[in-house]
């Protein structure tokens, strides 16, 4: 079996070696078992279903909350020659969906967003197929205790039943033991085989630098980058500051190639910047969390957090983009005394404010009782109560769940019922907020702790960490003066357009000889 697996691996992926955990998980899957797999970021989680997709008889369905990640993976698989894959999500227009449904039995691997799995038409198509494996990517989203709870994920157990209970593979890079238990419970899948691997990476050193203000952050950043010419990612929590700092760095580091990336750029420019970074045309990228998913660059040496995310899980995930080739890499956090302000604000605006929900419910009662209106205008609601899309989705989910509305129809106008549901939803909001603030303070405590950063960072997830391969952290042994990463030279394309065009279209003398 194992030799066979290796030959499959060589045939389909072009290299015969597995990384930690992959082989064990795939073996279980091929035996038809359900698996909970916790593998660190950058360890090749997706191989655990991409390889079985080619081997198993039937189709593999993957649910993933990140549409951009799905699309990136489909692109990469197609580029590598595996064409029977598709991502089905709300971005497809009617005719694209129709076309996909027409030939749905041709695919070996189907990615779908959780929303699409609630679409009856799509489910009708899916249930016609023989589903060999149902994969839940980012499985921690199913748990209320997880850092990225997605209400739609709670409905996955019924989806699995509708698909005639195929084996399930639940994958996550960041799940505390508590969340792991919850995943198994919510999926009603007690017989899952657990494959839990430690999340720490022995080649990444952890450094926190405390400075007085944001200007000092930039100054320090310049110093480090001046010293080390290495592929670098710098994370920001706002698009504007990513742009601003990129500009400041560009002025002071004229020999380095620096760009910014965020979700506000148009599609073509996003692809270009991503590809430039992969292709070593860019050395330093100032980005928001929109960047990095599906980026499989091996030699990122330095991941800087100019701003903090809201929890340890995201932090570990982002840091995990460093050093995928196993070479010495560094995570650097720049922190001011007010480092909690931005993430706090992010947390507060993620869910609707308590008072807002009260006003909204009053309005719905008014609409249904006084005006006799039974249909909610969702756009109007969002505008009237200044709700973001996610905030409105959250409320809609809970109202639907309590049987107060269905689609956009108001099902009841009984005052007392609405008031009790209101109380319930408000309680959920304050609980979720509390939980998130607690998670934030975990991360903030980590910044200010005197203990070994490696041990402390991973303590919520595992009992021990493996000894570092290079330096450990600034509390133990790290200093930039002792660090010797492999430096890379910045590419520069200066040539005039005539030369550039010649080179681009392979019209040099060299190429003529090569091809003759």
Partner 1 sequence: MFSLIILECMIKLRAERSVTSIYHLIIGKRSSQTLQDVYLYKLTSYFGILKSLNRKEFDTHIEELVTEGLFSIDNDGLATISSKGRSYYERNQEDFQLKDFNGLNYDRISENFQLRMQLLIQTITNRKLNNSTFIAITDNKQVQQWVKQTYFIHRNQLEHLLSGLYNELLLFLNGLTDKEASLFVHRLTGYEKIGLSKNQLAIKYDMTKTDVELNLVLINHKLLNDLLQDNSTYNYLSIFLKGLNDTYFITDTAAQTYQLLIRGYSIDQISKNRRLKVSTIEDHVVEIAYIDDKFSIRPFLSEHEEKEIVVAVETVNSKRLKKIKTSLNDKYSYFQIRLVLAINR
Find the part of the chain contacting partner 1 (CB under 8 A) among 43-51, 157-165, 408-416, 493-501: 493-501
Asked whether 202 and 251 are in contact (CB, 8 A), the reply is no
CB of 78 to partner 1, least distance (A): 9
Asked whether 140 and 107 are in contact (CB, 8 A), the reply is no
Count of positions (residues) in the chain: 516
Asked whether 291 and 285 are in contact (CB, 8 A), the reply is yes
Torsion of CA 14, 16, 19, 20, to 10 degrees: 150
**Residue number, 213 or 511, with CB nearest to partner 1:** 511
CB of 272 to partner 1, least distance (A): 5
Q: Which helix (H) or strand (E) holds 445?
A: helix 415-448
503 near partner 1 (CB under 8 A): yes
State how far the Cα of 71 lies from the Cα of 76, in Å rounded to an integer.
9
**Residue number, 181 or 250, with CB nearest to partner 1:** 250
Site for partner 1 in 75-94 (CB under 8 A): 75-76, 79-81
173 near partner 1 (CB under 8 A): no
41 φψ region: left (φ > 0), alpha (ψ -120 to 50), beta (else):
beta
CB of 514 to partner 1, least distance (A): 9
Find the part of the chain contacting partner 1 (CB under 8 A) among 72-80, 302-310, 314-322, 325-333: 72-80
Those residues whose C-beta lies under 8 Å from the C-beta of residue 353, and which sit 6 or more positions away, are none
**Residue number, 245 or 465, with CB nearest to partner 1:** 245
**Residue number, 268 or 484, with CB nearest to partner 1:** 268
Alpha helices in 193-238 (DSSP H): 214-227
| Among 462, 450, 351, residue whose Cα is nearest residue 398 | 351
506 near partner 1 (CB under 8 A): yes
**CA distances from residue 514 to 225, 503, 504, 510 in whole angstroms, order as listed:** 39, 14, 15, 6
Asked whether 38 and 139 are in contact (CB, 8 A), the reply is no
Pairing of strands 59-63, 109-112: parallel
CB of 422 to partner 1, least distance (A): 35
**Residue number, 260 or 399, with CB nearest to partner 1:** 260
**Residue number, 77 or 361, with CB nearest to partner 1:** 77
**Residue number, 268 or 481, with CB nearest to partner 1:** 268
| Among 308, 282, 314, 313, residue whose Cα is nearest residue 297 | 282
CB of 357 to partner 1, least distance (A): 29
**Interaction pattern, residues 273-292, with partner 1; x per rule: CB under 8 A:** x-xx--x-x-----------
489 near partner 1 (CB under 8 A): no
CB of 142 to partner 1, least distance (A): 29
493 near partner 1 (CB under 8 A): yes
Those residues whose C-beta lies under 8 Å from the C-beta of residue 216, and which sit 6 or more positions away, are 336
**CA distances from residue 55 to 11, 132, 189, 366 in whole angstroms, order as listed:** 11, 10, 24, 58
CB of 45 to partner 1, least distance (A): 20
**Interaction pattern, residues 249-278, with partner 1; x per rule: CB under 8 A:** -x--------xx----xxxxx-xxx-xx--
**Residue number, 9 or 319, with CB nearest to partner 1:** 9
Those residues whose C-beta lies under 8 Å from the C-beta of residue 440, and which sit 6 or more positions away, are 310, 311, 340, 343, 344, 347
CB of 7 to partner 1, least distance (A): 21
State how far the Cα of 153 lies from the Cα of 285, in Å rounded to an integer.
33
Size of the site for partner 1 (CB under 8 A): 35
501 near partner 1 (CB under 8 A): yes
CB of 250 to partner 1, least distance (A): 7
**Residue number, 276 or 462, with CB nearest to partner 1:** 276
* Residue 444 structure tokens: 């903030």
**Residue number, 253 or 259, with CB nearest to partner 1:** 259
Q: Which residues sit at the interface with partner 1, rule CB under 8 A?
A: 71, 75-76, 79-81, 96, 250, 259-260, 265-269, 271-273, 275-276, 279, 281, 493, 496-498, 500-507, 515
């Amino acid at each position: 079996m194992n030799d066979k697996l290796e030959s499959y691996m060589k045939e389909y992926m072009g290299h015969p070696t597995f990384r930690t955990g992959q082989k064990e998980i795939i073996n279980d899957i091929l035996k038809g078992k359900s698996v909970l797999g916790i593998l660190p970021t950058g360890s090749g989680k997706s191989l655990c279903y991409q390889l079985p997709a080619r081997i198993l008889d039937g189709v593999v369905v993957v649910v993933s909350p990140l549409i951009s990640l799905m699309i990136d993976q489909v692109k990469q698989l197609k580029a590598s020659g595996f064409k029977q894959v598709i991502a089905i999500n709300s971005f497809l227009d009617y005719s694209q969906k129709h076309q996909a449904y027409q030939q749905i039995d041709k695919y070996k691997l189907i990615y779908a967003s959780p929303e699409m799995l609630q679409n009856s038409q799509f489910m009708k198509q899916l249930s016609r197929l023989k589903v060999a494996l149902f994969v839940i990517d980012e499985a921690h989203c199913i748990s209320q205790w997880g850092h990225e709870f997605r209400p739609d994920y709670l409905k996955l157990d019924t989806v699995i039943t509708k698909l005639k209970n195929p084996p399930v593979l639940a994958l996550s890079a960041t799940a505390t033991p508590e969340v792991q238990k919850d995943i198994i419970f919510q999926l009603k899948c007690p017989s899952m085989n657990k494959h839990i691997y430690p999340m720490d990476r022995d080649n990444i050193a952890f450094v926190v630098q405390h400075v007085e203000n944001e200007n000092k952050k930039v100054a320090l950043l310049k110093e480090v980058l001046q010293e080390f010419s290495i592929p670098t990612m710098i994370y920001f929590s706002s698009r504007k500051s990513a742009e601003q700092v990129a500009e400041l760095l560009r002025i002071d580091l004229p020999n380095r190639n620096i760009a910014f990336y965020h979700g506000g750029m148009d599609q073509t420019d996003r692809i270009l910047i991503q590809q430039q970074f992969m292709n070593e045309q860019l050395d330093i990228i100032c980005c928001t969390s929109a960047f990095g998913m599906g980026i499989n660059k091996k030699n990122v040496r330095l991941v800087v957090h100019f701003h903090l995310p809201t929890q340890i899980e995201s932090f570990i995930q982002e840091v995990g983009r460093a050093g995928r080739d196993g070479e010495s890499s560094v995570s650097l956090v720049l922190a001011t005394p007010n480092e909690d302000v931005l993430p706090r604000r992010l947390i507060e605006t993620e869910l609707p404010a308590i008072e807002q929900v009260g006003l909204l419910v009053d309005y719905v009662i008014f609409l249904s009782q006084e005006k006799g209106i039974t249909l909610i205008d969702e756009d109007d609601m969002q505008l009237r109560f200044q709700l973001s899309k996610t905030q409105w989705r959250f409320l809609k989910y809970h109202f639907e769940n309590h049987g107060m509305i269905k689609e956009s129809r108001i099902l009841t106008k009984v005052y007392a019922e609405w008031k009790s549901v209101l109380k319930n939803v408000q309680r959920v909001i304050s609980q979720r907020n509390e939980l998130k603030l607690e998670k934030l303070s975990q991360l903030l405590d980590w910044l200010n702790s005197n203990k070994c950063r490696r041990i402390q960072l991973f303590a919520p997830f595992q009992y021990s960490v493996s000894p570092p391969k290079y330096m450990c952290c600034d509390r133990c042994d790290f200093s930039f003066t002792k660090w010797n990463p492999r430096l890379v030279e910045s590419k520069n394309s200066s040539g005039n357009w005539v030369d550039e065009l010649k080179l681009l279209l392979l019209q040099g003398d060299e190429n003529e000889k090569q091809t003759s």
